[in-house]
Amino acid sequence: MTTTKPEPILRDALKQRVVTLKLYGLLVHWDTLAESDLVWLQRLLDWEEVERRRRGLERRLSAAHIGRFKPLADFDWGWPAQCDQAVVAELMTLGFIKEAANLILVGPNGVGKSMIAQNIAHHAVMQGHSALFVNAAQMLGDLAAQDGDNALRRRLKHYAHPDLLAIDEVGYLSYGNRHADLLFDIVNRRYERKSTIVTTNRPFAEWSEVFPNAACVVSIVDRLVHHSEILVIEGESYRMKEAKERAGQKRAGAKARRATPNTPKPSA
């Protein structure tokens, strides 16, 4: 089998890939490469690009801290009394990230807010974006615990940096003014630059109870909703539904065992 020589346009394309990969030693000696060298070089660059993409994906997934979650394909869309599946499907296209828009998921406990946010964050990582999924209490506690301005600036940068930041469970606890100021700082740093997902069990009218006496609550809400999709989910807890089903299955199994007569052992 004969190998055709690469065209000059292929040589230029390969050089551009070398530049992108920052293989500076190879660039220094580029003019010494014969046309026959470009055949094995193309395969080497293929290997390098595939491996870098794999390692980059692993790093992004590890840094995202998404945790275990139920895929949307397994979600019972018939369970919530209200949840617009078409809107969720549109959000999974990640168009809102390109627009630096936000997503607010509002609903009671157990209706799938966190699961939807996790699915979107995971898909964003798979599509090459950086993401971070974090519990609100964990993030605000982390920021409040920083000792010194330099340490705080580093942690603020950590939460402000990802293409997508998902803040889970805002509203389940109450916070002091210091925590409210820190949340405002994060939201303000990301405002019109990066996308933020917030899951909350409280409508915005009740956020003054989440951050009592905090003067910046109105400013937090204003920046979050200015460019945002607000998805309201209504219904009873799906986790409670599953727990009741498991309990019912256990009771049915126990009842069946009690109803089954004992089989006498055969005599020796």
The predicted pLDDT at position 1 comes to 45
Is position 248 within any domain? no
Same domain flag for 149 and 195: yes
Q: Which of 39-43, 89-93, 98-102 bottoms out in mean pLDDT, i.e. has the lowest? A: 39-43
Q: Is 61 in contact with 162 (CB distance < 8 Å)?
A: no
- CA dist 109 and 149 (Å) reads 36
Same domain flag for 24 and 91: no
Assign residue 167 the CATH number of its domain: 3.40.50.300
* Strongest mean pLDDT among 10-19, 167-176, 253-262: 167-176
Residue 190 has pLDDT above 60, yes or no: yes
Is position 169 within any domain? yes
Q: What is the DSSP letter of 99?
A: T
Share of the chain above pLDDT 90, in %: 67
Is position 204 within any domain? yes
In a 3-state reduction of DSSP, which class is residue 112?
A: coil
**Of 241 and 102, the one with more pLDDT:** 102
- CA dist 21 and 23 (Å) reads 6
Same domain flag for 59 and 185: no
The predicted pLDDT at position 2 comes to 47
Mean pLDDT rounded to a whole number for the chain:
90
Same domain flag for 164 and 115: yes
Same domain flag for 22 and 140: no
Same domain flag for 17 and 141: no
Same domain flag for 52 and 87: no
Averaged pLDDT for residues 229-257: 77
Beta bridge partners of 106: 200, 232
Same domain flag for 49 and 180: no
Is position 5 within any domain? no
Q: What is the pTM of this model?
A: 0.79
Is position 1 within any domain? no
Averaged pLDDT for residues 29-53: 89
**Number of domains within the chain:** 2
Is position 34 within any domain? no
Q: What is the DSSP letter of 109?
A: T
Averaged pLDDT for residues 54-63: 92
Averaged pLDDT for residues 55-60: 91
Averaged pLDDT for residues 25-53: 89
- CA dist 135 and 143 (Å) reads 12
Residue 262 has pLDDT above 80, yes or no: no
- CA dist 162 and 263 (Å) reads 64
Same domain flag for 100 and 202: yes
Same domain flag for 83 and 23: no
Share of the chain above pLDDT 70, in %: 91
Residue 205 has pLDDT above 90, yes or no: yes
Is position 261 within any domain? no
Same domain flag for 53 and 78: no
Averaged pLDDT for residues 110-119: 95
Domain membership of residue 167 as a residue range: 72-240
Is position 146 within any domain? yes
Same domain flag for 143 and 198: yes
pLDDT band of 106, cuts 50, 70, 90: very high
